Amino acid sequence: MLAPEARLPSRDLQRLIDEELYWVLHAPRQTGKTSFLMSWMRSLNASDQVVACYVSVEACQGIEDLALATPAICGAIRNYAGDFGVPVPLKPPVGADPAIQLTETIKQWSELCAPKPLVILFDEVDTLSGATLVSFLRQLRGGFASRGVGRFPASVALVGMRDLKDYLIHSKDGVAVNPGSPFNIKKDSYTLRNFTEGEVRELLSQHTAATGQVFTDESISEVFRLTGGQPWLVNTLADLCVTRLVMDGSPITADHIEAAKEELIKSRAVHIDSLAERLRDPKVKRIVQPILAGDSDPTLADGDDFRLCLDLGLVALENGVPSIANPIYREVLIRTLNYGQQLAIPAPEFRWTKDDGDLDLEALFDEFADFWRENGDLWELKADYTEVFPHLLLMAFFQRVLNGGARLTREAAVGRERMDMLIEWKGHKHIIEIKLVHPRHGREATLKKGLNQIARYADKVGRDATQTLVIFDRTPAGRAMPWDERLRREQHQDVVVRWL
């Protein structure tokens, strides 16, 4: 367990109490928000300077009728207050106006806590919606001016997966929040960052200290590389290693971490499934598709869609470039998008390995070319993420043929105009770079750029790897070419170029 407070500036936390601030904490699911709130509540109450209470309003999700939602919120307040041993506000009178019921309950609660100020940590606030959310925020705002000991909570935290700036505008009936509002949170909106590599090392060293089982330096680096420090992923990979893969206490290596990653992705845990489900959202699709395709889009980070994907933890800025947040998420997204394709591809009946056990890439690409010729246009009509359809189909083909026997590493980021795939198979490495011909570039410019890019990637991976540049020409001119001209193989020094 890593203390969640370490991921928020301690001086800022104290300022929230000292200056009686109402503030927002947002972070993706399963990053430690609730653990932080519980820990901080206990710390505040131990100081004996304030009365702090955690309250989750998740039970009110989907309830937009104020006559039902407001009593449920007030009931949650009473229940959590009782659970945590703080003064419990009385039930409001039957028939009390829902528009002021929350205000009256919180006022009464503040009076019961005097002479100490009351601090409320509201969790899952972004599960509220419609009239319920608007009324909830208005009632908190209505008492904000009189906040203080015995009158109204001195400090209130609004906690959820998304930054509530998106929702607070609605509390003003669509008018932007003015500077006098308690929810002008530009300087008072916080997020829980992911673990650093040092914190991953600290967490895993606790297991070593308790059990004697060692995570090698390479395994720790691999955990951080695969997860980007996302807390749930870090914990789950480590847990899979120590409870399923290496139960005899022997050292955990980078290969064990890779095996745990595969098991995690195949298990379709709730966290992974909920991530994949987001791909159906048109707002998410607008951001994820160009990242996977590597398209340069100067408007990508504009507006709410990009902020939504950041808040969900789906994307991140890597050296200032929008990218899928970590390699595990990237693998999950790609496998989710091409899962149906993979199942529809027949099992290989052709010879696709050489006598020395290495992959026969010539046979594989010849077979894929035939498959593309027969199915590409028809399957594209049924595709959802059409801009990355060729990439996904080629990857589904290799995933189907290799059937888990190889290690596939994929890279994609905005502005690269390509997707890279590294196949590691029985000690051999194979680089496959996928590009699309854009009408504004043409075939020759695409080829030249692709050769330069694959050369740089080979410098990073190692020159002992084979290099294949796959170029799909889906332009009108390319589609009009006879298949015998479209399906070409060329050799450019160490690079095999396959035109499709």
Give the Cα-Cα-Cα angle 42, 45, 48 (nearest 5 degrees): 150
User: Higher confidence at residue 229 or residue 27?
Assistant: 229
- The confidence score (pLDDT) of residue 225 equals 95
pLDDT grade for 164, boundaries at 50, 70 and 90: low
Residue at 235 is within a domain: yes
Residue at 204 is within a domain: yes
CB 50: neighbour CB atoms within 10 A?
17
- The confidence score (pLDDT) of residue 73 equals 95
State the sign of the Cα–Cα–Cα–Cα dihedral 266, 272, 273, 276. negative
Residue at 229 is within a domain: yes
- The confidence score (pLDDT) of residue 254 equals 96
Q: What is the CATH number of the domain that holds 220?
A: 1.10.8
> Does 211 lie in the same domain as 167?
no
Peptide bond into 115 cis (omega under 30): yes
> Does 428 lie in the same domain as 371?
yes
Q: How far is CA 42 from the centre of its chain?
A: 29
pLDDT grade for 167, boundaries at 50, 70 and 90: low
User: Are 203 and 230 a contacting pair, CB within 8 Å?
Assistant: no
User: Are 237 and 226 a contacting pair, CB within 8 Å?
Assistant: yes
> Structurally, how many domains does the chain consist of?
3
> Does 298 lie in the same domain as 261?
no
pLDDT grade for 12, boundaries at 50, 70 and 90: confident
* Cα–Cα distance, 261 to 277 (Å, whole number): 19
- β-strand partners of 470: 434, 498
> Does 204 lie in the same domain as 184?
no
Residue at 66 is within a domain: yes
374 pLDDT above the threshold of 80: yes
User: Are 358 and 426 a contacting pair, CB within 8 Å?
Assistant: yes
246 pLDDT above the threshold of 90: yes
* Cα–Cα distance, 86 to 316 (Å, whole number): 40
Domain boundary among 267, 295, 312: 267
Structure token digits, residue 401: 């043929």
Alpha-helical segments (H) within 50-174: 66-83, 98-113, 130-144, 165-168
- The confidence score (pLDDT) of residue 462 equals 87
Structure token digits, residue 33: 């928000």
pLDDT digits over 469-490, tens only?
Answer: 999 999 999 999 999 999 999 9
- Considering only 7-11, 274-278, 311-315, which range has the smallest mean pLDDT? 7-11
pTM: 0.80
Structure token digits, residue 249: 């206490």
pLDDT digits over 41-88, tens only?
Answer: 999 999 999 999 999 999 988 888 889 999 999 999 999 999 999 999
* Cα–Cα distance, 231 to 30 (Å, whole number): 7
pLDDT grade for 414, boundaries at 50, 70 and 90: low
pLDDT grade for 188, boundaries at 50, 70 and 90: low
User: Chain-wide mean pLDDT for the chain?
Assistant: 87
* Cα–Cα distance, 282 to 26 (Å, whole number): 22
> Does 301 lie in the same domain as 184?
no
- Considering only 87-91, 274-278, 379-383, 426-430, which range has the smallest mean pLDDT? 274-278
Share of the chain above pLDDT 70, in %: 93
Strands 315-318, 321-324: pairing kind:
antiparallel
> Does 458 lie in the same domain as 427?
yes
> Does 382 lie in the same domain as 319?
yes
User: Higher confidence at residue 186 or residue 57?
Assistant: 57
Residue at 373 is within a domain: yes
What's the Cα-to-Cα distance from 312 to each of 188, 229, 271, 359, rounded to whole Å? 20, 15, 12, 38
Q: What is the CATH number of the domain that holds 101?
A: 3.40.50.300
State the sign of the Cα–Cα–Cα–Cα dihedral 226, 230, 232, 238. positive
433 pLDDT above the threshold of 70: yes
- The confidence score (pLDDT) of residue 304 equals 82
* Cα–Cα distance, 55 to 144 (Å, whole number): 18
> Does 176 lie in the same domain as 84?
yes
> Does 312 lie in the same domain as 175?
no
Q: How far is CA 52 from the centre of its chain?
A: 31
pLDDT digits over 326-352, tens only?
Answer: 999 998 889 889 888 988 998 888 889
Residue at 228 is within a domain: yes
> Does 246 lie in the same domain as 289?
no
Taking Cα atoms as reference points, which of 422, 370, 417 lies closest to residue 398?
422
Domain boundary among 240, 267, 294: 267
- The confidence score (pLDDT) of residue 268 equals 75
The full length of the chain comes to 500
SS3 content of the chain, % helix, strand, coil (to 5): 50, 15, 30
* Cα–Cα distance, 500 to 484 (Å, whole number): 10
Residue at 272 is within a domain: no
Q: Which domain holds residue 49?
A: 4-191
> Does 333 lie in the same domain as 254?
no
Number of alpha carbons in the 13 Å side-chain half-sphere of residue 221 = 4
> Does 55 lie in the same domain as 14?
yes
pLDDT digits over 287-310, tens only?
Answer: 999 888 887 778 888 778 898 888
> Average of pLDDT values for 259-264?
92
Residue at 278 is within a domain: no
Domain boundary among 172, 191, 210: 191
pLDDT digits over 98-121, tens only?
Answer: 889 999 999 999 999 999 999 999
- β-strand partners of 410: 421
User: What DSSP line would sit under 158-182, residue for residue?
Assistant: EEESS-THHHHGGGGTTSPPPTTST
Share of the chain above pLDDT 90, in %: 53
189 pLDDT above the threshold of 90: no
- Considering only 7-11, 50-54, 159-163, 434-438, which range has the smallest mean pLDDT? 7-11
